[in-house]
Amino acid sequence: MQPRLSLITLGVDDVAASIAFYERLGFKASSDSTADVAFFDAGGVVLAVFGRAALAQDANRVVSSAAGFSGVTLAHNVATEKDVDTVLAEAVAAGATLAKPAAKTSWGGYAGYFADPDGHLWEVAHNPFWSFDNAGRIILPGVSP
């Protein structure tokens, strides 16, 4: 696993209001943002906002569970589907819990989740619509040079 945090997703109550807030702060949403999710270039890392309940569901969690859902997930993006499987296996071998087995996603990618020892959720994802720059950072459509 490369030591890289690729994307931070914030679960929010009102995606449109959240997009408006971050745009007011100076963040620019990428051109593939939708009414349901937005991606901002956050300088070496991608910041995303997504419905809180939808994010919990995507991570195989329930918002109202006793253990609680923090409203934040971390993401590690990789270049191939095989890399997703490899990284998830490495994480489990290192002490993580497999929170959601890797599978094809509704958006055309391939991803799974592991939970670190404190329950922080990391999505390991292959997004065939995104590529990386020479530094390994995600190239966001409409934002990255």
b or e along 103-129 (b: 16 or more beta carbons within 10 Å of the residue's beta carbon)?
A: eeeeeebbbbbbbeeeeebbbbbbbee
Element (H, E) at 138: strand 138-139
CB 106 within 8 A of CB 37: no
In the complex, the smallest distance separating the C-beta of residue 65 from its own copies, rounded to whole angstroms, is 12
Q: Which of 79, 85, 137, 144 binds its own copies (CB under 8 A)?
A: 137
Residue type, 98: L
Return the range that interacts with its own copies (CB under 8 A); candidates 30-38, 57-65, 99-107, 130-138: 130-138
Site for its own copies in 67-106 (CB under 8 A): 68, 70-72, 74, 90-91, 94-96
Binding site for its own copies (CB under 8 A): 1-6, 8, 10-14, 17-18, 21-22, 24-28, 40-45, 47, 52, 68, 70-72, 74, 90-91, 94-96, 116-120, 135-137
